[in-house]
Amino acid sequence: MQLRNIAIIAHVDHGKTTLVDCLLQQSGAFRENQRVAERVMDSNDLERERGITILAKATSVVWQDTRINIVDTPGHADFGGEVERILNMVDGAIVLVDAAEGPMPQTKFVVGKALKIGLKPIVAINKVDKPDARADEVVNEVFDLFAALDATDEQLDFPILYGSAKQGWMSADPEQPQDSMAPLFDLILKHVAPPQVEAGPFRLLGTILEANPYLGRLITGRITSGTIRANQPIKVLSRKGDLIEQGRISKILAFRGIERTAIDVAEAGDIVAIAGLSNGTVADTFCAPEVEAPLVAQPIDPPTVSMTFRVNDSPLAGTEGDKVTSRVIRDRLLKEAEGNVALKIEETEDRDSFVVSGRGELQLAILIETMRREGFELAVSRPRVVLRRDPATGQLLEPIEEVVIDVDEEHSGVVVQKLSERKADMVEMRPSGGGRQRLVFHAPTRGLIGYQGELLTDTRGTAVINRLFHAYQPYKGDLAGRRNGVLIANEPGEAVAYALWNLEDRGPMMIEPGWKVYQGMIVGEHTRENDLEVNVLKGKKLTNIRAAGKDEAVRLTPPIRMTLERSLAWIDEDELVEVTPKSIRLRKAHLDPHARKRAERAKETGAVA
């Protein structure tokens, strides 16, 4: 059977996973009576809840006696490490673009990587059924994008299809809708070259790593050369060519629709998952015993944001989670770094905390959310950017991001003002149809931490922001931090409604009556710039003398709901987010007020010195 390997790449929310659903459906991968979840490739709980793809996944369909291996990739720049790796496995790419939004930052990021390694793209304009679709303009924008990314003449001569993945059709002419995806299938067979097979013994580059409860470690990749059989002896070489381990393959799994099927023999060019080795990981070469040189792995862009993960040492530690020790947290982080090459884990001197670096706040927030669902308790710091020094001049450099904001014209002024306060430079401002404007900025990553919530408030929830790492540039100086101080509990116990009611003048609360608090825990936001210690346990003094006025019923303003992402963006340098399976609490790094004052004095004297 002939083979084709293809990736579907697009910006977040442009319809990749829906398109894969449609291709599986129409190729007969499901039985007619089979019940299938919507967005079947988003198998992870977090992916389903948030409606985004986080992990790259492979599937396959058969069309006219040709097996097409399809890889669904994430659309967020924070998960770009997943995308960079999987492009090694494929020979073609479908670039999916929203007919209304046009090519967005993440499209640019992934297409740039795909063009660089020589893939010939197929452009599919999706969602042409939307009322604000502008398919012809979007095609011109895609061409301009390809030209800006130094595409070759052959790559610029890309075929174009128009359609709607939701309605299940693609066509060469947007005015003549078809009734199926057949034009896309036929174009893949015609335009995408069969996989190039090298001569020699078995070699496979590890691309996706996952753990299976029955088979152990599963490594997915494309076979570059040779064939492989179950129980065959193989070895694993690192990127540098060092021997990591030797062993036998216990199972070979091939992708057949959404299922994985055990097969006896796999040929060069196919994408398969192999089990049986306990140490081999992503970017390692799995090969026959006689092979000496490893396969070349694509370099991965460096991380730009880091956070400190530490053991939870609050008075409520261990009451809600069962995985609380530094050893368990360390093992879990190292396991995550094995499969996610865009993450970097460093141990600190005190052995109770770890510096975790990644592509962005979202990537790290997803890792924290996954860990808390597994029963972990930990405390995490505010995200910090990874700074560098220019080796030639010794100048301090910081990561700069390209920010694209689509916003109603009436709100564009406040967006420009807020971003200029955050040291952003405006690059472009143009109308994007429907009374909206597209603003493009180059902004320091530091200034964007926590900006999304503020943007939605400023624009009444109508703005759409997209970010992408642009380059390292000279440090832009200090930025103004959070303007308000916090309200800090001064005693441990359970919060009382009467006390919270009396404190409402001091600022909005973040806790409810009955919640457990401890000394040093943040319970609200102060209306002024300084921090204030407050008593949230103080009940009403009861006497047997009737008051002249009727007792007022305590009516509390609903508290601010602090989600994980909002908490990480909101806290200051001397504060932590305490994350447990049931709660998210904010606290000061030093719980004791005297220790806080000492740390503040030491910081001030250090700054003066």
Query: Do 158 and 229 reside in the same domain of the chain?
Result: no
Q: Residue 455's CB: how many other CB atoms inside 10 A?
A: 22
Known binding residue 65? Answer is no
Query: Do 34 and 111 reside in the same domain of the chain?
Result: yes
Known binding residue 129? Answer is yes
Residue-level pLDDT at 600: 86
Known binding residue 14? Answer is yes
- 534-555: per-residue pLDDT in tens? 999 988 777 666 655 545 567 8
Lowest pLDDT segment from 197-201, 334-338, 513-517, 584-588 = 334-338
- 582-609: per-residue pLDDT in tens? 999 999 999 999 998 998 888 878 655 4
Query: Do 147 and 114 reside in the same domain of the chain?
Result: yes
Known binding residue 450? Answer is no
Q: Residue 176's CB: how many other CB atoms inside 10 A?
A: 8
Known binding residue 393? Answer is no
Known binding residue 15? Answer is yes
Question: Which of the two residues, 51 and 506, has the higher pLDDT score?
Answer: 506
Residue-level pLDDT at 286: 92
Q: Which ranges in 402-496 belong to alpha helices (H)?
A: 412-421, 445-448, 451-458
How do beta strands 436-444 and 396-408 pair?
antiparallel
Known binding residue 17? Answer is yes
Domain with 166, as residue range(s), is 2-191
Cα distance between residue 406 and residue 598, in whole Å: 46
How many structural domains are present in the chain?
A: 3
- Is residue 460 left, alpha or beta, with left meaning phi > 0 and alpha meaning psi from -120 to 50? left
Q: At what angle do helices 105-116 and 135-148 cross, to 10 degrees?
A: 50
- 327-369: per-residue pLDDT in tens? 999 999 988 887 677 788 998 888 889 999 987 787 888 899 9
Which residue is listed with tokens 């825990």? 521
Residue-level pLDDT at 487: 94
CATH code, domain with 88: 3.40.50.300
Query: Do 253 and 165 reside in the same domain of the chain?
Result: no
Which residue is listed with tokens 């001091």? 506
Residue-level pLDDT at 50: 53
Q: Domain end: 287, 303, 320, which one?
A: 287
Known binding residue 13? Answer is yes
Query: Do 49 and 154 reside in the same domain of the chain?
Result: yes
Q: Taking 90 as the threshold, does the pLDDT of residue 88 lie above it?
A: no
Hey, what's the torsion of the CAs at 49, 53, 59, 65, to 10 degrees?
Answer: 110
In a domain, 517, yes or no: no
Q: Domain end: 157, 191, 225, which one?
A: 191
Check residue 193 and report its DSSP letter: P
Query: Do 57 and 147 reside in the same domain of the chain?
Result: yes
